[in-house]
Amino acid sequence: MRSDDLPDPEGPTSPTVSPRSTCSDRPRRIGTGPALPCNVRCASDRRITGSAIGSLLRRGLGVGARYGRPAREGNRLTAALTALAVTIAASWAAPANAETLRLTAMGDSLTQGYGLPQDQGFVPVLEAWLRGRGHDVAVTNAGVSGDTTAGGAARIDWTLADGPDAMIVALGGNDLLRGIDPASSRANLAAILDKTRAAGVPVLLAGLPAPGNYGPEFKRDFEAMYADLATEYDAVLVPDFLGPIGEKATQGLSLSDLMQDDRIHPNARGVEQIVDAIGPKVEDLLARADQ
């Protein structure tokens, strides 16, 4: 096709009559896959009589063969070319529908990766685990060291402004360390979940077990708030973010191989075990986000 068949970039935008019959097949959506080799253009049969493709098309359409064997060959070729066109169109359209899921992990130092190299914290290890299992997902680290449920409630709006497809909410550890009334922590978590529900963002809610030194009522109320809120807001529940480490502690075994020297934060091996345990629940969350 000669360049003078196309309007100049600054030409009129109203439709004009072309001296030759032309058509242009262009995708209506911009895909995320690799660029197509070129725009596919088709012209009238008269324009392609000298090309091999034109010859095939004329045979496939039965031009010059009205009956008998040539016509049958043309019908078969027409069907083959149609199937090929459908296959190519489907392969080009598929990347347009594929989108990387955006998962945001909101939490405190356990989420943030306190005391660890950047690539060994909870978020990068979780992302690698999910990608290793075939999930096209990007995990954003919204962990803030020292944060409480009140801090999470104060920043939930701008966290949601990034447009995540799903969220992990893992807050309450610092409330526990400070002995904050579980009723206050519960109200803060509910405020966070109100916002995620309004935004249509599915949530995984990760809790922690309370020690007995605050009394049985504190322990009961603190641990119950996670299960109750998960039920109320239809969130995926992980009762104990540090599950594998906690299980080892209840057995009276040493945690030196899983914890940093402060005995509060997991080391790289501890993070790996946490991710192995929580990973399937995160997959449940991604399934909700992908619906």
Note whether 64 and 119 are same-domain residues: no
Note whether 73 and 208 are same-domain residues: no
Note whether 80 and 123 are same-domain residues: no
Domain limits at 182?
101-289
How far is Cα 240 from Cα 193, in angstroms, rounded to an integer? 18
Q: Is 176 part of a structural domain of the chain?
A: yes
Helix (H, G, I), strand (E, B) or coil at 166: strand
Residues 176-221 have pLDDT tens digits of: 999 999 999 999 999 999 999 999 999 999 999 999 899 999 999 9
What percentage of the chain has pLDDT greater than the value 70?
66
Note whether 60 and 182 are same-domain residues: no
Q: Is 247 part of a structural domain of the chain?
A: yes
pTM above 0.75, yes or no: no
Q: Is 18 part of a structural domain of the chain?
A: no
Residue 154 backbone dihedrals phi, psi, to 5 degrees: -75, -25
Q: When comparing pLDDT for 141 and 291, which is higher?
A: 141
Give the β-pairing of 203-206 and 236-238. parallel
User: What is the CATH number for 137?
Assistant: 3.40.50.1110
The neighbour count for residue 256, using CB atoms within 10 Å, is 10
Note whether 66 and 106 are same-domain residues: no
Note whether 136 and 155 are same-domain residues: yes
- How high is the pLDDT of residue 291? 81
Note whether 266 and 164 are same-domain residues: yes
User: Letter for the amino acid at 57?
Assistant: L
274 contacts 122 by C-beta, under 8 angstroms: yes
- How high is the pLDDT of residue 252? 86
Note whether 142 and 169 are same-domain residues: yes
Look at residues 79, 98, 117 and tell me which one is the last residue of a structural domain: 98
Helix (H, G, I), strand (E, B) or coil at 259: strand
Q: Is 5 part of a structural domain of the chain?
A: no
Helix (H, G, I), strand (E, B) or coil at 205: strand
Residues 113-158 have pLDDT tens digits of: 999 999 999 999 999 999 999 999 999 999 999 999 999 999 999 9
Active site residues: 109, 262, 265
Note whether 214 and 282 are same-domain residues: yes
Q: Is 13 part of a structural domain of the chain?
A: no
